[in-house]
Amino acid sequence: MKKIKLLVLLLTVAVAGFYSCTDNNPVENEVVTSKSIALRTTLNELRKTNNINNGKLNKDQFLCFQFVYPITLSYNDGTVIAVSSYQGLLDVLTNETNNLYIDGIAFPFDVQAEGVVTTINNEAEFYALINDCNFQTVNDCVFDITCYDIVFPIQIINANNETQTITDEAQLLQLLSNPNQVSTYQLNIVFPISVIQNNQTMVIHDLYEFFNLNNNCDASGCVCQEIYAPVCVQTANGIVQFSNACHAECAGYTANDFVDCNSTSPCNCPTDINPVCVQTATGIVQFDNACLAQCEGYTANDFVSCNPTPTHTFGQLLGTCFNVAYPVEVQNGGMLITIHNDGELLQYWWPNQSYFPALNYPITISFATPTGNETMVIANETAFQSAIASHCN
């Protein structure tokens, strides 16, 4: 759907209660609004595209449709407002808080897309509208399970408007994968729920907080289907299950990394962080603790320092132990400087400040070995240090 630039006019003000004001003029008729997940989804998209969480506004952002103003909205405390412009809507969103936020809209309302005005009569039509816009919906959020874990059981309002208890993640994702309702049912969670993130449990009280939680997750840039076809990968911390192969691949894994989800590790390691490192053919690998390293077949005799100190300086090793494939770039004074040889590179190396020059990675280097030159791509300083430790000392 072609994206249309939204209108920019003025914001109206609100009064408490169930009556609406437009430009400070009271409207005598009572206005009825309905709580709307589709509205909160749309408003969250506007918050993200306009950097509202960072206190910045970009009034030139686009959505795939525009509201025909005025529209009537309501806060979670029941206050009803009439918004007469796109700019007014942005101002409302900028002033939202965890305690006071928009959660309702008065149906019907009109939207415009590709020059056509369409009337949205109910929540189902609103969800159908945003489903064509590739907004991040609640359904999308729960399918990406790499950011946090939901504490089950939870309750939802299902497609039949009945309260249903969901006992685990598999049941939830299978529900949303139902081909009869994939494009029509938007997950309606009964809040509050609890989630575990970074080994900490937190309570999410409402949809506003739930979207904020997901907004703070690292965005992979991937768009995956809402299909529950679990795959698993083996990591240093055990087997991790993804809701489908797309989400696993978004996390950087390939089909070659997939393992049986029912397999179990023979090790039962603690979760404490006490790093140990081992030297491998490709460099130094760090494990969270000795147990995890031993599970991979290493012993205490294989452990090395996680931060080896080179016995020679970068300048001494450049051109002797390793060679740099030029040109490369270094950061200096806020600019990237192109370097063509060792002499130029050493001009931007200050050993009293850092072991390495401020290189712009990745770079390619080669080491002379008894069997010939070994070339490798270096992704960062840690990898560079590891390569020097395994080849130069």
| Distance, CA of 393 to CA of 19 (rounded, Å) | 77
Structure-block tokens of residue 112: 């415009």
| Distance, CA of 321 to CA of 391 (rounded, Å) | 8
* 393 residues of the chain, pLDDT tens digit each: 333 333 323 233 333 333 344 433 334 457 899 999 999 999 999 988 887 654 444 444 457 899 999 999 999 999 999 999 999 999 999 999 999 999 999 999 999 987 788 999 999 999 999 988 878 899 988 887 778 889 999 999 998 899 999 998 888 988 888 777 777 899 999 999 999 887 788 899 999 999 999 888 755 556 677 677 888 887 766 677 777 888 788 777 888 888 877 655 456 666 666 778 887 655 567 777 787 777 777 777 788 777 665 678 898 999 988 999 999 998 876 678 899 999 999 998 888 777 889 888 889 999 887 777 889 898 888 788 878 877 886
Contact present, 284 and 308 (Cβ < 8 Å): yes
Burial of 38 (0-12, 13-18, 19+ CB in 10 A): buried
HEC assignment per residue over 337-359:
EEECCHHHHHHCCCCCCCCCCCE
- Let me know how long the chain is: 393
The whole-angstrom distance between residue 305's C-alpha and the CA centroid of its chain comes to 33
The residue whose two tokens read 């000795």 is: 290
pTM equals 0.56
Name the β-bridge partners of 34. 105
β-strand pairing of 363-369 with 322-324: antiparallel
CA angle 31, 110, 69 (to 5 degrees): 70
CB neighbours of residue 329 within 10 Å? 15
